[in-house]
């Protein structure tokens, strides 16, 4: 992973009327075998949540996947912590 670093993305979705307190964390990490992984962690705020790892050969593919998921979550109402 020699190219640009992709910063981790931390998002929250809070809806008090629906008792919804969710988080979503996305990050890009190098693998031991020269690939790149997108790590997705999500769940209720205060819990450890669930994790999914997607591995890609190219950093550009991983960055595109991260941006695609981030756009999807923002469309669904997720925002940076502290913003509503």
* Pick from 77, 31, 78, 83: nearest CA to 56: 31
Burial of residue 16 (CB within 10 Å: 0-12, 13-18, 19+) is exposed
What is the per-residue pLDDT for 84? 58
pTM, full prediction: 0.86
The 10s digit of each residue's pLDDT in 26-78 is: 999 999 999 999 999 999 999 999 999 999 999 999 999 999 999 999 999 99
Q: Where are the domains of the chain?
A: 9-75
Looking at the predicted structure, is the pLDDT value of residue 11 above 60? yes
Q: Which superfamily is assigned to 9-75 in CATH?
A: WGR domain (2.20.140.10)
């Amino acid at each position: 992973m020699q190219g640009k670093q992709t910063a981790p993305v931390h998002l929250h979705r809070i809806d008090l009327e629906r008792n919804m307190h969710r988080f979503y964390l996305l990050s890009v990490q190098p693998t031991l075998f020269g690939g790149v992984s997108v790590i997705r962690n999500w769940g209720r705020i205060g819990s450890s949540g669930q994790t999914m790892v997607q591995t890609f050969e190219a950093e550009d593919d991983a960055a595109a996947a991260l941006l695609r998921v981030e756009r999807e979550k923002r469309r669904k109402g997720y925002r940076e912590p502290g913003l509503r």
